[in-house]
Amino acid sequence: SVDGIVSDGLTAVDESMLTGEPMPVEKATGDEVVAGTINKSGSILFQATRVGKDTALAQIIDMVKRAQNSKPPIGRLADVISAYFVPVVMIISVISALVWLNFGPDPRVAFAIVSATTVLIIACPCALGLATPMSVMVGVGKAAEAGVLIRNGEALQTASKVTAMILDKTGTITLGEPAVTDIELVNGNNESKVLRLAASLEAGSEHPLALSIIESAKSRDLELGPVEQFHSVTGHGVEGIVDGHALLFGNEKLMRDRGIDIEQYLPSAQRMASLAQTPMYLAVDNQLAAIIAVSDPIKEDSIEAIKRLQKNGVRVVMLTGDNRATAKAVAERVGITEYFAEVLPDQKSDKVAELQGQGEIVGMTGDGINDAPALALANVGFAIGTGTDVAIESADITLMRGSLHGLADAIAVSKATLSNIKQNLLGAFIYNVAGVPVAAGVLYPFLGLLLSPVIAGAAMAFSSLTVVTNANRLRLFNAQKH
């Protein structure tokens, strides 16, 4: 099996085994193809990047196996019960034999042996031992079918208890593919000049908004110039020298901090922001030259997925480094009432801690390197599978589809799995509590009823079968309906 990067050709690939999405995905030069997916049309030439155990498919299989073999905290309850249960049953078996030997009818020895043996057989904690792992195995597999990879049993259980979900805006709610949508010129500058200067400066940045500026310049065949003294001002913008001009490019705070007069142009920026666009100011030699607006389209299914989360009682909060007006516009479009704007990368984990301090079980969903600390701090971290490797490694659950429906599916499957585990544990416990006294012979003085070891063995097998059957009901679970 081989993963690779397309170097030539165009085709459509069925990635349903990876993402759960039935529609083929177009692949062209520069796109990634992974082992296990099916080429539906066309032909491509690709360069191998990972083989064998290093492929995405192999890593997914390994993650699912490890998750299926892991034990959620509720599973430890069964271990605790078993630790006390076994010696208690041994004592009951001995007491039962002694009672029959001293007070039972003849043949007393035979009755004592049958009673003690039956207690040991019927009390075999097989069902108790199967209750958790069977449900976890089926539940994790069901999640994988929906394109949700759960790292371990603890993440599975915690996801079922999430009360607040923090969503990073860019790449999570939106596509993460921003494009230049508007340019307002200032002081007689021309569009090609300001776009070329901004793109030249942003060539040293890896921010998604920077890439949109560069792509816009390239689409107009503008040749970028070299940058000198480039400096990134975290969370605010960049500065440097291009063609001998001192440039500043960033948000309102950067302009104010550097003493750039933008007051009369604030209404234009606010208009852009009200349309869910991100306005960025370009200053050339300490004079405002242009306001460039960039818009990141909202994912088609974000609104519906957020509604699903809210319907299930989850408090949804949006975080973004964008200005308040843009954040408000996006939040209103997707139906989120609580949001934090102008959040710096190192402040995201502070917001997670703040919600945890309010007693919330917090889930964090993101896709970038700057989301990694918050993903690690959250009670359960959800990484968008189309994001960075650092974010995925920091998260407990990976959403391979890149859709927020995967988030709602993950929570629905985890709740169904935990409910199934509780049913199994309760059923197994009731069976043992009811079965042991009957096997010991408490009904014999009243009904003349004494279980034989054969019937006890059959009852024990039936209880295990019941647990397995109940766990397999999860295979019929449809997360999309929850």
CA 212-16-411 angle, 5° bins: 80
In 66-215, beta strands by DSSP E:
148-150, 164-168, 179-185
Which residues lie closer than 8 Å to 194 by C-beta, 6 or more apart? 183, 185, 282, 284, 289, 290, 292
- Cis amide linkage into residue 107, ω under 30° from 0: yes
SS3 assignment, position 259: coil
Encoding tokens for residue 383?
């990484």
Which residues lie closer than 8 Å to 163 by C-beta, 6 or more apart? 313, 314, 315, 360, 361, 362
Encoding tokens for residue 469?
């059957």
- Answer yes or no: are the C-beta atoms of 126 and 460 closer than 8 Å: yes
- CA gap 370, 115 in Å, rounded: 65
> What are the two backbone dihedrals, phi and then psi, of residue 436, each rounded to the nearest 5 degrees?
-65, -50
Instruction: Give the helix/strand (H/E) hosting 480.
Output: none
- CA gap 258, 237 in Å, rounded: 12
Q: Which of 168, 322, 367, 371 is catalytic?
A: 168
Q: Is 168 a catalytic residue?
A: yes
Distances (CA, A) of 77 to 84, 88, 97, 129, 155: 11, 16, 30, 10, 17
Give which of 59, 64, 164, 232 is closest to 374, Cα–Cα: 164
Question: Residue 40, exposed/middle/buried by CB under 10 A (0-12, 13-18, 19+)?
Answer: exposed
CB atoms closer than 10 angstroms to residue 423: 17
Which residues are tagged catalytic?
168
